[in-house]
């Protein structure tokens, strides 16, 4: 009964100062909203990236040039290394070296502009072979994909993504026409079905040509940017990775693994790395956003101190008619907790709503397969932290109110 009475008294006290109460909880609302948005969008981004990686296939292994990067700048430095050559591909193809290898495909890539008549469009060029269709599960809408013979003969043929077709040809027929890129005329032999992004690549915005053609005529290189390998089963991925390492070290005369001029990525490894990075980044941003909760807590303490001073006579009157220090302490603590808890609840609703709207915009206008995620942990954490902030920062003003002398309080003007 006493607690119920204190709760009613606290609610009446807050209701009597609606404007001040609303401004007091604003800092808490902003803090919880920021945390909710950061956690929700962080999980959404992580799910998007992981879903992109999963489209590669669990049996797919990527061999990249250069040393294993330790950070972003290292990744940029090794992206276009030249340590992977044709002889490496030939060595990996031998069953005696990598017995569990099912498919292998060299890969080169780069960005360039392509033109057709008066139309021009900047796109990504991938130099591949016909295995790319199976490895990345591509479908042809019109025409055909180029063949292994086209790769051997360095044919000037190209398969274009649906967006490229739309930008360069519009509603006109693309098959048999020629587009020009880097001074080379390429005959369109196929148009891909609309696929969107997958495996960290926007296939609709890309074109595919024989890697031999890309190497010699477009990029002028004699090495590969990647070698994509597929193991014969998921159970043999680890063994295949080890066989690849041994084979490439023998080819490159490397005896110390620390001096490897290549590194290997698997789906499992990439997913683990992405999860670690995105989780750490999300938690860091959430911690930064949580600073506003601290600011909000200080604001609540200041407002409560002002409230104690303004209500000195009320406190004296309550003590004079029998209220104990514990009653006064409980009342003012409840006011602080109610303020922060209300702010936390509003922040959760506002943060979830803004995150949902952001997800809709990203999925609709940015053409991303972004799924809204409601961060349950952040919601519970937000409510718990906001209540704790109310307790911590409301304790000092509440104790100050409880310790007031009733006679001096009644004399206060």
The pLDDT tens digits for 275-285 are: 666 677 777 76
179 near 116, Cβ under 8 Å? yes
Residue 1 has pLDDT above 50, yes or no: no
pLDDT tens for 107-135 read: 999 988 999 988 899 989 999 998 888 87
- Do 374 and 229 lie in one domain? The reply is no
pLDDT digits (tens, 9 = 90+) for 7-32: 565 566 556 566 666 777 777 788 78
pLDDT, position 276: 67
10/152 same-domain check: no
Same domain, 308 and 372: yes
pLDDT: is 48 or 373 the higher one?
373
Listed residues 241, 266, 291: the one ending a domain:
266
Label residue 264 by pLDDT band (50, 70, 90). confident
Burial label for 57, CB within 10 Å (0-12, 13-18, 19+), is: middle
**Structural domains of the chain, count:** 2
Mean pLDDT of 320-339: 74
Residues 276 and 253 in one domain: no
Residues 218 and 243 placed together within one structural domain of the fold: yes
- pLDDT tens track for 314-323: 666 666 777 6
The predicted structure's pLDDT at residue 333: 75
49-76: pLDDT as tens digits? 666 555 555 678 888 998 876 654 454 4
**Cα–Cα distance between 5 and 12 in angstroms, integer?**
11
- For the chain, the C-alpha Rg in angstroms (whole number) is 32
Residues 195 and 217 in one domain: yes
Domain containing 152 equals: 60-266
- Are 199 and 324 part of one and the same domain? no
Same domain, 406 and 347: yes
What average pLDDT does the chain have?
Answer: 79
Domain final position from 266, 284, 303: 266
Mark which of 250, 266, 282 sits at the end of a domain.
266
| 352 lies in the same domain as 385 | yes
């Amino acid at each position: 009964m006493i607690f119920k009475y204190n709760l009613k008294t606290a609610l009446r006290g807050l209701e009597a100062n609606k404007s001040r109460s609303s401004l007091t909880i604003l800092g808490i609302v902003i803090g919880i909203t920021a945390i909710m948005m950061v956690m929700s969008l962080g999980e959404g981004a992580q799910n998007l990236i992981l879903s992109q990686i999963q489209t590669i296939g669990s049996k797919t292994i990527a061999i990249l040039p250069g040393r294993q990067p330790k950070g972003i700048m290292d990744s940029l430095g090794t992206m276009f290394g030249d340590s992977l050559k044709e002889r490496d591909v030939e060595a990996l193809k031998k069953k005696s070296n990598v017995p569990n290898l099912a498919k292998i495909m060299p890969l080169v890539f780069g960005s360039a502009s392509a033109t057709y008549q008066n139309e021009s469009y900047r796109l990504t060029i991938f130099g591949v072979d016909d295995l790319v269709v199976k490895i990345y599960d591509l479908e042809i809408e019109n025409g055909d994909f180029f063949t292994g013979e086209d790769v051997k003969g360095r044919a000037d043929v190209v398969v274009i993504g649906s967006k490229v077709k739309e930008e360069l040809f519009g509603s006109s027929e693309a098959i048999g026409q020629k587009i020009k890129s880097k001074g080379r005329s390429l005959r369109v032999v196929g148009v891909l079905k609309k696929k969107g992004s997958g495996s960290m690549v926007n296939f609709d915005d890309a074109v595919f040509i024989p890697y031999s053609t890309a190497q010699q005529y477009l990029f002028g290189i004699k090495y590969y940017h990647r070698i994509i390998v597929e193991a014969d089963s998921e159970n043999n991925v680890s063994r295949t990775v080890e066989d690849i390492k041994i084979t490439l070290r023998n080819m490159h005369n490397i005896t110390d693994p620390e001096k490897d001029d290549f590194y290997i990525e698997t789906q499992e490894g990439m997913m683990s790395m992405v999860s670690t990075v995105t989780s750490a980044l999300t938690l860091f941003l959430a911690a930064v956003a949580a600073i506003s909760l601290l600011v909000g807590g200080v604001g609540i303490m200041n407002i409560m101190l002002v409230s104690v001073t303004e209500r000195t006579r009320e406190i004296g009157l309550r003590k004079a008619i029998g209220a104990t220090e514990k009653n006064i302490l409980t009342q003012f603590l409840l006011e602080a907790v109610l303020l922060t808890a209300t702010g936390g609840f509003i922040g959760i609703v506002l943060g979830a709503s803004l995150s949902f709207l952001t997800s809709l915009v990203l999925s609709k206008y940015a053409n991303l397969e972004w799924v809204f995620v409601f961060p349950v942990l952040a919601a519970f954490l937000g409510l718990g932290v906001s209540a704790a902030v109310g307790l911590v920062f409301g304790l000092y003003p509440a104790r100050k109110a409880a310790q007031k002398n009733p006679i001096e309080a009644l004399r206060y003007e």
